[in-house]
Every structure is written in C-alpha cells, then in structure tokens.
Amino acid sequence: MIVLLIGGSSRFMDSMIDKMNKSGHQVYLLTGRKDKHSSYKRVFEKYNFEYDTDSIEDIFKSIQPELVIFMGAYDTNFNWNMARQESVRFSAALTNLLSAYSVTGKGRFVYFSSHEVYSSVHGADVTEDTIAEPKGLKALAIAHGEELCNSYRTTQGMDTMILRFDHVYGIPKKGEKLTDPCFKMCLESLKSGKIPANSRNSFSMIYLKDAIEYAYKAMTDKEPSQVCYHISSMEEINETQLAELVRKHMGGKTEIVDNSVGESHRLILDGKKYLEEYDMRVFVSYDAGVQKVVQYMKRHREDFLKDEDAGQGKWGKLLHNVRVIIKKLIPFIENLICFIPFFMLNNRAVGSEYFSKLDFYLLYVLLFAIVHGQQQALLSAVLAVGGYCFRQMYERTGFEVLLDYNTYVWIAQLFILGMVVGYMRDQLRYITEENEENVDYLHGKLDDIEDINDSNIRMKQSFEMQVMNQKDSLGKVYEITSRLEAYEPEEVLFYAAEMLSKLMESKDVAIYTVANGDYARLFSATSKEARKLGSSIKYTSMESMYDELKEHRVYINKTLEDKFPLMSSAVYSSDQMQLILMIWGIPWQRMTLAEANRLTVVGALIQDTVVRANRYLDALKDRRYVEETNILDEEAFTHLVNAFFQARDRGLTECSMIRVAGVGENNKQEAARALSAQIRQTDYLGMMRGNLYVLLSNTDQEGAGSVIERFQQKGYRSELKEVAA
C-alpha cells in the first residue's frame, strides 16, 4: 500500500513511519515546511512543501496514495502558543489538503483528532456520538477539522476517517515539549522535585505504541463500520495516582503537592465501538509506560531543563548547578581558544606586504562583541592588548611600548569599538527577551480572557434558554406534562419517564417507586445506563442523596460519584416519599440551580398526575379485585398487562408474565395467600382468560425462572408466557 504521511517532526511521526515500514507499506512524507535539514529513515520520498502551496495537488496526483494520514492535533508544524493565528492556518491547511486530495478520487484520508474537543465534565465515558464541546481556539480548530472531514465525506463522497486519541503519552524526543500529563509531571519533578496533583481530576492515557497499533487496525481495514473511532485504554487514573507512579520511578526525594480543590473533572473516551470491531488490548500498562518516560527524561534531563530550573534533590541540584556553571564558562573557554589563532595570524601579518594594514585583533574583538556581547568583548580586548604588547616587545622594550602614544590610541580604539558593539548586542538581546516575555504574558492574559468569555457565553446561553426558549417556559412544561392525563392510570408512571427525559433533555432517566421505608424499586427507565443501580436500591443508605431528598430539595452530584445519579428529585404525597426521579446523562455545565428548579417544577407536575391516578385506582379498589383476595379481575389485569408490555416494547421497562396452573374458583384465596408470599410488592396477581397469572415487574426471563422454582416448591406448577396476549 502507498501511504502518505503529513505532519512535522515528532516522536509520533517517527513511530508511525516505523509501523508502516514494518508492515510492508511504501511511505511518502509531506513535512509541511521548507525544512531540508531534518532527515527520516525508511521514507521513500520526502516533500518539503508548506500546506498552502499549489503544489499539494501535484504531489497527490504524482503519488496516487491509497492512504493519507494527516497528524492533525499532533502536527508539530503548528505552534499553539499563538492559537489565534494558528487556528486559522490549521483550518486553511486542512481545507487545502482535502480539496487537493478529492481530485485523485481514491484512497482514504485519516484525520488524527484529540480528546481536547471535549471540554466539559462527563460522568460516563464519552462515546463517538457525543457532540463535541471545544474550549479554546486549539480545541475549536481541531473540532472544525472533524467537521471538514465529515463535510467532504458527505458532499464529495470521500472516504474519510476520524481517530480521536485519548491522552497519548510516550518517550519524547530530546528537547521536545509535550502536553500530556505524564510528561508535565516528569518535567516538574526534574525542575523542582515537586509534583502538583489534583485527585479530583480523572482521565485515561494510552501509550504511544499502543495508540499506533490501535490506529493501524482501523486505518487499514477495507470496510470499517464506523467513520469515527475513539483510541482509548479506558483505564481511569487521576493526577495523584499518576504522580505516585512518577515518584516511584523518579527516585530521589520527589514530593507530591496535593492540589485537590474545586469540583471533580472526569474525561475518558469510550473505545467500546472500536473493541467490538477489532480484537485489541493494551500492551503497555501505566506503570511500565511511566517508567520508560521517566528513565529517558532522567538520562537526558539537560535537554529538557532551562538554566533557571533548580533540579531535583540535593545531588540533582548540585549536578545541575555544575552543568549551568560549565555552560556559563563555555564562552570564556571559547574566547581563550580563539585568541590563539588570531594571535598567530597577527604575528604573520606584521611583516606581510598584503596584510600588514589588517588588524586581526580588532576583528577578533568585534567577532566576540557581535556573538556574545559586552562581557566577552571586554575579555577579548584585554587578551588582544596582551597579545599586542607581547608582539611589540619582540623589537622594543616594554618601557618603550608604554611610552608610545600609538599604543594607547590603538587600545582606546579597540575598547571603544568592542564595548559599543557589545553594548548594542546586549541591548538587542534584552529587548528581544523582554518582547518575548511580554508576548507570553499577553498570551496568558488572552487565555484568561477567553476562559472568562466562554463562561460568560455559557451563562448567557443558559439565561436565554430559560427566558426566551419556549421549550423551557412553564407553559410549555405544563403542556407536555399534561399529556400524561391522556394515558390510562396504569400507564402514567411509564410515560412519566419519557416526559421527564424530554423535558430534562436527557436520554438516561429512571423512576423508582418507594416500596417501604428503606427500599425503592425501579419502575421504568429510558436506557440501560439509567438502570445501572439495579431493580432495587436501599435509598436511605445513599446518604448524600437521601439527605437532600428528605429535605424536599433536588440532589446535584457535584463530585460526579459513579454510584449516584447526576441529578435526583423526590415526589411526595402527604409528606410520604412516593417516587424518586433520577437523571444520569446530562453535561456538567447544565448541573446548575436553574436545572434543579426546572426538575422541581417538572416533578411537581408529574406528582399531580401520578397522585390523581393513584387516587382513582384506590377508589376502584373494591371493583378491581376478586372478592376477599389480592387478585386483580380480568378487566383490570388485562389493562395492567397491556400497559406493561407496551412500555416494554418502547424500552421503558422489563417485565415477565407467568401462568399458574391448577387454580380454580374454589382455591383462589388459598393460592393468593401462598403465591403473594413468594413475590414482591411491585408484582401483580390477576385473572385472564380463566387462568391465574403473575405479572413480574422489572424482571427478565432469568429472574422469572427463579420465581417459577419457588412456586414449584409450594406445589403450584407454572410456566413463562412470552407475550401478553
């Protein structure tokens, strides 16, 4: 296969080249810059062209690649410290690449994206279908790149693929500055011996080689089922745990500084779709991967540290100080060494017909003044004066040299020129460094302003939705909830879950009915995620949630604990808790007081309908049950069965029905007493078509089997009915 890689020099690019070569593919490289100095091994042809050149189309036509891989979020040609300019250049570059590649009409274009397109906090792992919420110009540019690829796929029919990588980490190149958490912590440890860590910040990482193996499987598959895959290990780790691993392998006296403040932040990409299609596993664990990164950075620490960095530990600081001193002495040593050839050249030029007028000492002083500044210019001038006087004493005495006014004129000339040029060099360096510091400071201020602006925009949008958007108005909420009155009393709770899901804009909603003082049983749910707590919960043991609910307040899971819903509210009747409404799938930015108030209003309107339905059923209690039993008559039971099975078909609940044999008119009461002791309060006995049936709520076939066994032990033979009819 002919493969064209597009991107700047990085460890990611080197590893991708190695993988393609080992797999027997012919590799071409488009570097994206006019850089003729960098070399790549095992690259068939390298093109040093920028992305905006017209020659890109000619390159595609010449190579006719079957697979094009654009490094995207990991392309080192883009300096994201200047995100405003680079975001525009990034989008323009990708547009030019896609438009040029669309002309060839064949092959696949792969775009490398990143977890950065998701800025919000997510309680559950983020799937490929989750809408991107970029924060910052870099994340916005990466997300826009995904949209461009999707647009060319739908409009031009191009075979495009998007791979989102989750916190890729690996061994960096010498001096390469990476942004992954592992590299940052290793660098902080080398600098100061301290690693700041926040245990509330959770994420997952994947080692570079594992990430490339994962990506290769999807990129080379002829018929992938998805156009977007998440490349993730899905192994959760927080900053404190990662810092412990870095300290373990770094050795010395690395200290972990606990910065666990603020709200929890969790962002993990869900790679289940990838794993369902490709049989892959993570080969490099966190412990082994961190060890490799730490060992490499320790061996090449001087390539990652600056002069002002303190080093790690007592010996680390001492060694680093020695390196700094040696680095400071290098210009002086260089000055002394260079003095020797200039001294020899000056001696040869004294008696030369052609070079006698050439002052090599002056050139020597000016050279060091221009390169190193005023300090080295002063040292070179002193050495030049010494060399000049020494040469003059070949023919005259030292006293004669000192009395010669030409000597002082020459020395004055030498020092004046050297000091002036050196001063100008120092001033230019100072101005340049000051400008760089100002630019960095302004970029930092700009980032802060962007963060504040993003927050203000979210607040503005939230207020607009509450005030202007009709779907959030009380009238609209009442209009939707009032539709519950159109359902039969037996159906109200099922469709209340659907209404709650629609009004709260969440696909993961569950409704639990309070069975007694401590336990609540699942009645209906809109998704598998919403059923994660199981069919029965002891809600009084869920202290943080129960404390809020018993005070008639909305519970908000601010710490994102996995065993609790993200938001919850209770429905009361005569100060008795009747229902617990649970919401799971909502983004972090919507877990606000406004949403809590909306849930309170919705819960109150649902409560009104549910209480009315329960009162109606209680009023008809004598007419609904077979005399002196808890067995529903045929009409009431048929309505109930139809309600349950229709809700099951819509994915709102699970239920099973068992037919009990051998129960006639004479032994109904006896059977009712015996069987009621074997089922739950939320299950129902009823007559239908002359037979006794048991309706098991929130029970699958496996659960129904255990009920059948219990009936058998009591002497009642029963069987599972697959359908209600």
Specify the pLDDT at position 619: 47
To the nearest 10 degrees (0 to 180), the angle between helices 137-156 and 83-102 is 10
Average pLDDT over residues 70-82: 89
Identical fold at 472-619 and 623-721? no
Are the beta carbons of 714 and 674 closer than 8 angstroms? yes
536, two tokens? 């029965």
Q: Which residue has the higher pLDDT, 31 or 662?
A: 31
| d(C-alpha 567, C-alpha 618), whole Å | 31
pLDDT digits (tens, 9 = 90+) for 511-544: 888 866 788 888 788 888 888 888 888 888 888 8
Boundaries of every domain in the chain: 1-165, 316-434, 472-619, 623-721
- Please provide the distance, in angstroms rounded to a whole number, between the alpha carbons at the two ends of the chain: 59
The answer for residues whose C-beta is within 8 angstroms of residue 23's C-beta and 6 or more apart is 216, 220
CA dihedral 180, 186, 187, 193 (to 10 degrees): 140
Is the confidence at residue 313, as pLDDT, over 60? Answer: no
What is the CATH T-level fold of the domain 1-165, as seen in this structure? Answer: Rossmann fold (3.40.50)
Q: Report the run of H or E that residue 149 belongs to, with start and end.
A: helix 137-156
Q: Residue with structure tokens 């009712």?
A: 672
Give me the CATH code for the 623-721 domain, please.
3.30.70.270
The amino acid occupying position 489 is P
698, two tokens? 């929130």
pLDDT digits (tens, 9 = 90+) for 648-706: 777 777 788 888 887 776 677 777 778 887 777 767 888 887 778 888 877 777 778 88
Specify the pLDDT at position 725: 41
CA distances from 170 to 186, 292, 330, 454 (A): 12, 8, 33, 32
Is the confidence at residue 230, as pLDDT, over 80? Answer: yes
Are the beta carbons of 696 and 689 closer than 8 angstroms? no
What is the CATH T-level fold of the domain 472-619, as seen in this structure? Answer: Beta-Lactamase (3.30.450)
pLDDT digits (tens, 9 = 90+) for 557-611: 877 787 888 888 888 877 788 888 888 877 766 777 777 877 887 777 776 666 6
pLDDT digits (tens, 9 = 90+) for 164-199: 999 999 998 877 788 889 999 998 888 888 888 888
Specify the pLDDT at position 38: 61
| d(C-alpha 176, C-alpha 187), whole Å | 11
Residue 643 burial (CB count, 10 A) = 23
Specify the pLDDT at position 467: 57
